[in-house]
Every structure is written in C-alpha cells, then in structure tokens.
C-alpha cells in the first residue's frame, strides 16, 4: 500500500498487487482526479494483475486505468491476509525451479531420503524392504524435485507412475494396494541423498562417516552418503 502515497522507489512491477479495505480507505481520501493520478502511476508499470479483496466494488478510476494500461483486475471475497497466504503458498509451489531425477524417494523415520545410483543397483528393492519395515514410498524411478525455498527441496512422483514400483524379475507393483495407504506419501522434503554403487575393491570407502559429501541439486547442497553394494 506504500505505493499509493506516491513512493515508488522500490516498487516491484512483477508482483501481483492486492487491494483491500486499508487501500480503498486510503484512496477514498482523494477526489476522482487525484485518485486517477495515483492509480495511473502504479498501473503504468504494468503489474501482472490486481486482486481486489472482500468483493469491494472497484472505482471508475481503477477500471479506466486498468483498461488504459491493460492490467487485469480480479475480485475475491477473501480477506487480504487470507488471500496473500494462500496465493504465496500456491505460487511458491507452481513457479518453483524444478527438475526430474532418476532415483527413488522414500521417507525413513520422518526424513526424506533420495536413493540414487545406476539402473539395476537395487534402489527399488531397497525401497520395498524399507516399506516392509514401516517406512513410506514417495516416488520410484523418476523423482520430480522442486526448490521451494533457498535451501529447501521437495520431491514427488509424476502422476502417471505414482505409487508404482518396478522390480526386476517381478514386474510393476502398486505399493498402495499391496501395503496400504500408510506405505505411501505424495511428497516429501529431501533431507539427504544415499548413493548406491557397485562395490569396487580398488576404491577406498569412508566407513566412519568422517568425510562430508554433498550433492548439488538445483543449487542446494544436500548431504550425501555413498554405500557400496554387491549381489548376495
């Protein structure tokens, strides 16, 4: 609402503008001409949209200025605080940077663990054993990862393969139908990466956990643990 006073020094024209009781009460202090000048000064920057809360009827000055500068006007019965909270949450999710990674995402004791490694190394088999022990599957084979905050990553499964796990030699199983709703989860925060790799006798592995290892995903460094595996 500070822009209504004429202070536009740090005005971000890429943001959706929200007008509520406070803003309309302030605008009501101006006459029609002065009100139009204030609105024009804001709309001339071309904000993506203006949302009017509590179903308040927009003045002619707002409608004329919106038409002149091609600014979309929306109305909602919600209060300013309710709309802002829900809108920020929705936009943070939908507009977050995202990638799809090959791997398996499981929730283990409340922590999101992303299992990575070459195909056939045993990621899906590991996930099945974890589910049997009461942990939960989020995604198998393809994990959609979103960065919802500066250091926060969330993963989920693509809708067309949600709840399914492919096991070599067995086929594709539906974890929800086989183990119940308690065995699956729609999304989970990624807290660590567990990288499964074929045992290499020539390689020296850190068995004490003294060396810190990280994997960078969407600019976020995630703690990583490499576990060597072999058949048997």
Name, in order, each residue with C-beta under 8 angstroms of 53's C-beta and a sequence gap of 6 or more.
18, 19, 20, 21, 76, 77, 78, 79, 80, 83
Catalytic residue of the set 36, 101, 123, 163:
123
pTM for the whole thing?
0.77
CATH topology classification for 98-229: Rossmann fold (3.40.50)
Catalytic residue of the set 93, 102, 132, 177:
102
Helix (H, G, I), strand (E, B) or coil at 157: coil
Q: What is residue 41's predicted lDDT score, i.e. its pLDDT?
A: 92
Helix (H, G, I), strand (E, B) or coil at 145: strand
Active site residue 102: yes
pLDDT grade, residue 33 (50/70/90)?
confident
Catalytic residue of the set 14, 29, 133, 207:
207
Active site residue 207: yes
pLDDT grade, residue 209 (50/70/90)?
confident
Q: What is residue 232's predicted lDDT score, i.e. its pLDDT?
A: 63
Catalytic residue of the set 54, 141, 162, 176:
141
Q: Tell me if 40 sits within 8 A of 8, measured CB to CB.
A: no
Helix (H, G, I), strand (E, B) or coil at 111: strand
**Statement: residue 208 has pLDDT above 80:** no
Tell me which CATH code domain 2-94 carries.
Answer: 3.40.1390.20
Q: Whole-angstrom Cα distance, residue 213 to residue 193?
A: 10
The two tokens of residue 203 are 């390689």
Question: Look-up: residue for tokens 């594709």?
Answer: 172
The structural domains of the chain, with segments of one domain joined by +, span: 2-94, 98-229
Name, in order, each residue with C-beta under 8 angstroms of 88's C-beta and a sequence gap of 6 or more.
none
Strand partners, 215: 222
| Mean per-residue pLDDT, 41-56 | 95
**Statement: residue 185 has pLDDT above 90:** yes
Q: Whole-angstrom Cα distance, residue 13 to residue 4?
A: 14
Q: Whole-angstrom Cα distance, residue 214 to residue 49?
A: 41
Active site residue 123: yes
| Mean per-residue pLDDT, 34-55 | 93
Do the two domains 2-94 and 98-229 of this chain adopt the same fold? Answer: no
């Amino acid at each position: 609402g500070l822009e209504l006073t004429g202070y536009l020094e740090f005005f971000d024209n890429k943001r959706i503008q929200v007008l509520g009781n406070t803003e309309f009460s302030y605008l009501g202090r101006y006459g029609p001409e002065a009100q139009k000048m204030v609105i024009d000064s804001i709309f001339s920057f071309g904000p993506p949209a203006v949302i009017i809360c509590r179903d308040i009827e927009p003045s002619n000055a707002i409608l004329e200025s919106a038409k002149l500068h091609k600014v979309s006007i929306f109305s909602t019965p919600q209060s300013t605080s309710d709309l802002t909270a829900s809108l920020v949450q929705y936009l943070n999710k939908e507009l977050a940077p995202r990638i799809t990674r090959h791997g398996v995402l499981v929730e283990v004791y409340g922590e999101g663990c992303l299992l990575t490694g070459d195909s056939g190394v045993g990621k899906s088999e590991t996930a099945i054993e974890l589910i049997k022990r009461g942990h939960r599957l989020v995604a198998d084979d393809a994990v959609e990862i979103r960065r919802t905050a500066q250091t926060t990553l969330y993963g989920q499964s693509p809708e067309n393969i949600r709840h399914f796990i492919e096991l070599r030699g067995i086929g594709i199983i539906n974890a929800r139908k086989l183990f119940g709703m308690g065995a699956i989860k729609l999304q989970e925060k990624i807290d660590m990466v567990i990288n499964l790799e074929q045992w290499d006798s020539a390689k020296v592995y850190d068995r004490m956990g003294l060396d810190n290892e990280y994997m960078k995903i969407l600019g976020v460094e995630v703690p990583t643990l490499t576990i060597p595996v072999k058949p048997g």
